[in-house]
Structures are given as structure tokens and as C-alpha cells.
Amino acid sequence: MSTPQSYTEFEATLDQSNPPSHWPQALQALWHQTKGNWEASHNIAQDLHSEMGSLIHAHLHRDEGDDWNAKYWYRQAGRAFPQVSLAEELKQLVNEVIT
């Protein structure tokens, strides 16, 4: 399976037990978070030394309710704390990675 070209294609992979290994690591991290596996997502995100890695890291800490830590990671990514739901933010991050 190739890298998804839309969020709908991304969602269609969620019945699998693991994301495709050839996907970018950021997309794999988001896949794990979408599936509810915070730990697997965090393990990938903390090794992504990029703006997207910081955004995923921020989202994860926001999800766990650690706003102080999340705000740090949003600042690292040069972004403001989002005003959208966690689900909408996750969808936006997936779309950023695949476009």
C-alpha cells in the first residue's frame, strides 16, 4: 500500500494491526495516535527532530492533559496552542503530512 493521498485513504488503513513500514515516521506516529496507542506514537514522535515531530509531540501531551508540556512543544514548532478539538487537530496533522 502506498502512502495515502487523502484522510479517507488514511482512515481506510485503521483496520490493520500496524501502519505500513514504508510510510514516513510522522504518519506512522499519527496512525498510532488515531488508533489510541499514545505510547507507540510518543516513542516515534520523540525521535522526530522536526517541526512536525514537535507538533505531534505537542498534540500527544495536549491529549494527556499536560498543557504546560504541550505548549512547550507548540512553541518549538512555531505554532500557537490550537483552538480546535483534539480530533480535528489530529486530522489536520495527518493532512499536513500527506499533502
Exposure letters 69-96 (e unless 16+ CB within 10 A, then b): ebeebbeebeeeebeeeeeebbbebbee
Q: Is residue 92 part of a domain?
A: yes
- What is the total count of domains within the chain? 1
Enclosing domain of residue 40:
7-15+25-98
Mean pLDDT for the chain overall: 95
Residue 2 confidence class, pLDDT cut points 50, 70, 90:
confident
User: Is residue 74 within 8 Å of 57, Cβ to Cβ?
Assistant: no
Residue 1 confidence class, pLDDT cut points 50, 70, 90:
low
Q: Is residue 43 part of a domain?
A: yes
User: Average pLDDT, stretch 55-72?
Assistant: 97
pLDDT tens digits, one per residue of 38-59: 999 999 999 999 999 999 999 9
Q: Is residue 20 part of a domain?
A: no
pLDDT tens digits, one per residue of 85-95: 999 999 999 99
User: Average pLDDT, stretch 76-90?
Assistant: 97
